[in-house]
Every structure is written in C-alpha cells, then in structure tokens.
Amino acid sequence: MSKVVATQAGEDDPLLLDRQVCFPLYAATNLLNRLYGPVLAKLGLTYPQYLVMLVLWEHQVQSVGELGARLYLDSGTLTPLLKRMEAAGFVTRARDPADERRVLVTLTAEGKVLRERALHVPETMANGYRPDDVDSLRESVRQLVSTLAQHKTRPPATE
Amino acid sequence: MSKVVATQAGEDDPLLLDRQVCFPLYAATNLLNRLYGPVLAKLGLTYPQYLVMLVLWEHQVQSVGELGARLYLDSGTLTPLLKRMEAAGFVTRARDPADERRVLVTLTAEGKVLRERALHVPETMANGYRPDDVDSLRESVRQLVSTLAQHKTRPPATE
DNA sequence: AGCAATTAGATTGCTTGCAATTTAATTGCT
DNA sequence: AGCAATTAAATTGCAAGCAATCTAATTGCT
C-alpha cells in the first residue's frame, strides 16, 4: 500500500510546475507589484491606484463602471480603493445627477498635480532593463494578451 | 488658472494606459485567476494553493522556505495559506527535528489522492484555446519571463 | 563555552481581488 | 401610470500578497 498514487512522473506529466503556462505569469505579476511598490509609495499610490490615476489623467471624470471596464475590475474592488484615494485627496466621488445610480470619480487639483511627479515612473521602472528588452517585453505581452483574449468563455468585463 | 497641468497629451505620453507594459500583464493575471477559480474550487483549492500542490506532488515533503523559493512567495503569504490547506486536510505542518527553525510541509493521503482529480485541470483550462494558441502562449510567457528576469535590481526570492 | 549575527517562520496591519448579495435608480413593457 | 426587469454601486465575507516586526533556533567567531 505504499505506492497508492505517484502516477505520471515523466516529463509528459501535465501537472509539473514547469509545464504550467500560467505560473510564470502569476509570478511575474507578483514580481512587478513588488518592483512598482516602493516607487509608487513615494507618490502615495499603490499599483492599482496608479492604474486608476492613469485612466483619470486621460479622462478626468469617469464613472466607477467605466473605470472598471477599462481596468477589468468590479465595484467590489474599486469602491473601497476609490474611497482610499478620496481620503488621500486625489479624487472625489459623487453621484451622477443625470443618473443617480452612477458614481462619478473626478480628479482633484492635487490629483492633477500628481501627474508631474509620476512622469518619471515608466522610465524608472524601465531602467532596470536594456531599452531593447523593454520593446521585447512589450511585444511578448502584446502577443500574450492577444492570445488570451481568444478564450472561448470570456469573462464578464467589457465585452 | 484653468490649464495648470495637462501637459503631454500626445501619443508619446509615457503615462497612457495603453503604453504600459505591465498593465496587460496585471489584467491577464487577474483574468487567469477568475478562469481557474471555478475549476479549482471543485477540488477545494484556490490558485495559489493549487501551485503549492503542484510543487508537493513533485516532492512530497518541502520546507516552507523551499516552497517559497519555488513559488516566489514569502512566509507572510505561505504560513496562513498552508494553515488553510492543513485545515482542509491536504497537508500537515511540523517542525523539522533536524532544524527546529524549519517547518516541513507534507502531503497527506488525501492530498496525494487529489492529484488524480487534478489531472484534467491543465487540459480543461487549455480547452478555451486552440492548441496552437497554447503553444503560442507558452512561448510568449517564456520570452516575457526570460526578459523580466534580467532586471538589474532583482528581488529577494531565490537568487 | 559564550555571545553576536544570521536564519526560518510566524505575526501584524494593510491593500487588493472576487463571488455573492443587497440597495437604489432607471428602463421597458403593458 | 404601474410594475417587473435591469443596471450601477455598495456591502459582506473570504483568500491572497507583502512590508515590517517579532521569536526562536542555529551558526560563526573568538
């Protein structure tokens, strides 16, 4: 009764960690979070908060739903996150008078000014890499996402 | 005093969301988590717990530190996660008699048996894609990680 | 042997992230 | 108009993830 299981030890075993496509993605994302963390902390932001700022710097007023569609996050994630950003003074939250179901998130003056101090972030982050590698990264990610997007059972999100 | 900020609106703006390398990675990882969630929930696992099981199915006894080195996670993440897996009956945790600082995580019989039921997971997940796309994904991720790994200021982890 | 430095995990406190549910506003249909 | 269905956020409950700190065991050095 010693070898009850232990099947599939060969390298065709689908359950080998090194055969997983998703694990490197998972690990890389955790790594990126750790790398961004200290840089963004100086601005008073976390990584997802930084993403929200990127969206708002493009369009200063956005509903929670629009932010979520852009970032693939739902209100369960965004609501508390936005409350923290409001407490930090970067945005305001207010019901849309034209449709009271919606909540409009608006950049504050402080939030707009923060953009100046954030301008160096992409370069700072890229500085760990050679310029060619950044292009290579960009291309790999583009391919990756383009392939992932073809999944037969898409998630809710925008679609 | 109306246009205090609003510089860099062009497409050379480094702060455009669509120019970010890391955002698609972040979004893709969240997506993968949502896709794996329901499949793994039937086994009583979450995605990071599944990763721990993959490692343990390869080596049935591992210290917390070894697991962390393999998965790039620290004890702050692993300790509570492993306690939940212990409560679920998949592993046991015990101090290493040879070095009482270490905690050895060991597969239980139930944890070994679970492997059978997990064998279909990789295929199930890949089923949303055409076989060629999976190869393409694998190659993109390989490139991605290989480039990321060249960052000048590596994180702690194994190294 | 004795003690400082190191190492391995655990703990604390905080922020995501998501499923499921709830609440309130709006639409649509009759 | 009246009411069911839909929609947008908020809320609840739980599991990660990580920095910082703490504790206990081991190493290393004299």
Q: Are A29 and B25 in contact (CB under 8 A)?
A: yes
Nucleotide showing the shortest C1' distance to residue B105 CA: C9
* Residue A10 clears pLDDT 70, i.e. is over it: no
Q: CA–CA distance from A156 to each of A9, A139, B47, B114 (Å)?
A: 37, 26, 19, 30
| pLDDT recorded at residue B158 | 31
| pLDDT recorded at residue B22 | 87
| pLDDT recorded at residue B159 | 29
**Which DSSP symbol is given to B34?**
H
User: A158 in contact with B at a CB cutoff of 8 Å?
Assistant: no
Taking the C-alpha atoms of residue B70 and residue B55, their distance in angstroms, rounded to an integer, is: 8
| pLDDT recorded at residue B49 | 97
Cβ distance B54 to A148 less than 8 Å, yes or no, reads no
pLDDT in tens, A88-133: 999 999 999 999 999 999 999 999 999 999 998 988 887 767 677 7
Residue nearest to nucleotide C13 (CA to C1'): B76
Taking the C-alpha atoms of residue B122 and residue B137, their distance in angstroms, rounded to an integer, is: 14
Is domain A20-119 classified as CATH 3.40.50.10320?
no
The one-letter amino acid code at A11 reads: E
Residue spans of the domains in chain B: they are 21-146
| pLDDT recorded at residue B140 | 76
**Which structure tokens are listed for B109?**
């019989």
| pLDDT recorded at residue A132 | 73
Taking the C-alpha atoms of residue B156 and residue A121, their distance in angstroms, rounded to an integer, is: 22
Q: CA–CA distance from A114 to each of A18, A90, A117, B38, B120 (Å)?
A: 42, 8, 5, 39, 48
Counts for chain B of helices (H) and strands (E), in that order: 7, 3
Bridge-partner residues for B62, per DSSP?
B105
| pLDDT recorded at residue B138 | 78
* Residue A84 clears pLDDT 90, i.e. is over it: yes
Measure the CA dihedral B99/B100/B104/B109, to 10°.
110
Residue B76 neighbours by CB distance under 10 Å: 9
Residue nearest to nucleotide C20 (CA to C1'): A76
- Residue B36 Cβ < 7 Å to strand D: no
User: Which parts of chain B sit beneath pLDDT 70?
Assistant: 1-11, 128, 130, 145, 148-159
| pLDDT recorded at residue B7 | 54
What is the rounded radius of gyration, in angstroms, for the C-alpha atoms of chain A?
Answer: 20
Taking the C-alpha atoms of residue B35 and residue B39, their distance in angstroms, rounded to an integer, is: 7
Q: Are B39 and B124 in contact (CB under 8 A)?
A: yes
What phi, psi does B144 have (nearest 5°)?
Answer: -60, -55
Closest CB from A58, A143, A148 relative to B17: A58
| pLDDT recorded at residue A4 | 52
**Which structure tokens are listed for A77?**
């994630």
Contacts of A153 in chain B (CB under 8 A): 35, 128
At the top level of CATH, the class of B21-146 is mainly alpha
Nucleotide showing the shortest C1' distance to residue A29 CA: D17
Nearest to B52 by CA among B69, B36, B27, B35: B69
- Residue B83 Cβ < 7 Å to strand D: no
| pLDDT recorded at residue B154 | 39
Q: What count of CB pairs under 8 Å joins A to B?
A: 190
Helix (H, G, I), strand (E, B) or coil at B43: coil
pLDDT in tens, A121-138: 988 887 767 677 777 777
What phi, psi does B8 have (nearest 5°)?
Answer: 55, 50
